[in-house]
């Protein structure tokens, strides 16, 4: 009724978990500005090793690295193992995106701003932490400032891909900012967050994932309304 969704996974020995470190296309990483990864590929070998090999290569090449843990506990042997490996991924991240559930899971902190600040203090590689709060909006922090905003009012049909499109929107807008992530001013950080919120909000108005992604025109129309 609220447009929320649940997942069932059928992936024993499927292609996504069988990717090996040797199969990682490093040429794609050479050509990118941002390397983005998540934790679903960490739930089994050899894809776990491939994920970290790719992240390590991106770091060696000085790429901006973004990370969305995208917690799916039913893919892990235990919650403890999930937390252990997900936190190992944070070591590589410059931009970290978490849901409220993931923030509590990783930090034990129910104060979103405090939990995000704890992560910034703990991991010197982090430049920006994003906390998506569903219908309540989102929060963004770097070492200079904190911004937050409510979600755009839309009629939700399906929340699938909302977090992914939110992250994509933020990264897109950030690439067009004049400053590096850690140097974004309060207004620049807010502009990135507003664009991300609009992108995520628009995605929820249609069912599905890829074909639910909004156009630039739709995003700007929502922001201007």
Judged against a pLDDT cut of 90, whether residue 6 lies above it is answered with: no
Strand order in the sheet with 138-141: 34-38, 64-68, 95-99, 128-132, 138-141, 146-149
pLDDT single digits (tens) 131-166:
999 888 999 999 999 999 998 999 999 999 999 999
Q: Whose CA is closest to 99, among 46, 145, 135?
A: 135
Judged against a pLDDT cut of 90, whether residue 216 lies above it is answered with: yes
Q: Are 97 and 70 in contact (CB under 8 A)?
A: no
Judged against a pLDDT cut of 80, whether residue 2 lies above it is answered with: no
pLDDT single digits (tens) 78-97:
999 999 999 999 999 999 99
Whole-number pLDDT of residue 141: 96
Percentage of residues of the chain with pLDDT beyond 70: 100
For residue 37, the 8-state DSSP code is E
Q: Are 144 and 183 in contact (CB under 8 A)?
A: yes
């Amino acid at each position: 009724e609220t447009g929320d969704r649940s997942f069932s996974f059928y992936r024993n020995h499927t292609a996504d978990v069988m990717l090996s470190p040797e199969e990682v296309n490093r040429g794609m990483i050479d050509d990118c500005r941002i390397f983005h990864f998540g934790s679903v590929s960490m739930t089994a070998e050899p894809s776990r090793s491939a994920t970290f090999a790719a992240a390590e290569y991106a770091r060696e090449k000085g790429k901006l690295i973004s990370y969305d843990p995208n917690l799916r506990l039913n893919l892990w042997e235990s919650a403890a193992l999930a937390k252990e490996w997900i936190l190992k991924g944070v070591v590589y991240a410059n931009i970290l995106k978490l849901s409220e559930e993931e923030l509590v899971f990783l930090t034990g902190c129910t104060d979103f701003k405090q939990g995000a600040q704890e992560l910034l203090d703990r991991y010197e590689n982090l430049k920006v932490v994003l906390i998506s709060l569903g219908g309540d909006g989102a929060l963004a922090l770097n070492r200079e400032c904190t911004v937050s905003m409510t979600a755009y009012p839309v009629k939700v049909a399906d929340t699938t891909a909302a977090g992914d499109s939110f992250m994509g929107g933020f990264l897109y807008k950030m690439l067009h900012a004049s400053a590096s992530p850690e140097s974004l001013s309060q207004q620049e950080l807010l502009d990135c967050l507003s664009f991300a919120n609009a992108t995520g909000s628009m995605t929820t108005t249609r069912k599905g994932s890829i074909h639910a992604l909004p156009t630039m025109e739709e995003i700007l129309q929502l922001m201007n309304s």
